[in-house]
Amino acid sequence: MFPRFRSHLAVGISLFTLGCAAVITPAATTYSVQGDLDFTQLGSMKKGESCSLTVLGIFGPNGDASVAAAAAKAGIRQVRYVDNRIRNYILWYHFCVIAYGE
């Protein structure tokens, strides 16, 4: 009885933790951009980053992962480019917005 219970418990825990995973597809995060893009200037621009953390998929998001917060942290007045970084672990989800500008 106990080996069967342990196997059911292991399957249940793995399904519970995998249910916390989130997927952001490129189609949902792609915006049309008008004009020519020149990414060679990123090294000379100011860079601001703001992040949020979600634990177990239910506690959070804790933090302000917005373009406005990222720009304010770096003192950016005009945002030129925006990027994001996603780190998805089993128990937590870390999402950051990175703003570049002048």
The tens digit of pLDDT for each residue in 85-102 reads: 888 888 888 999 999 998
Q: What is the pLDDT of residues 47-85, one digit of tens each?
A: 999 999 988 878 888 888 899 999 999 999 999 888 888
- Domain ranges in the chain are 2-29+42-101
Evaluate the CA torsion angle 96, 98, 82, 43 in order and state its sign.
negative
pTM of the prediction?
Answer: 0.66
What is the per-residue pLDDT for 81?
A: 86
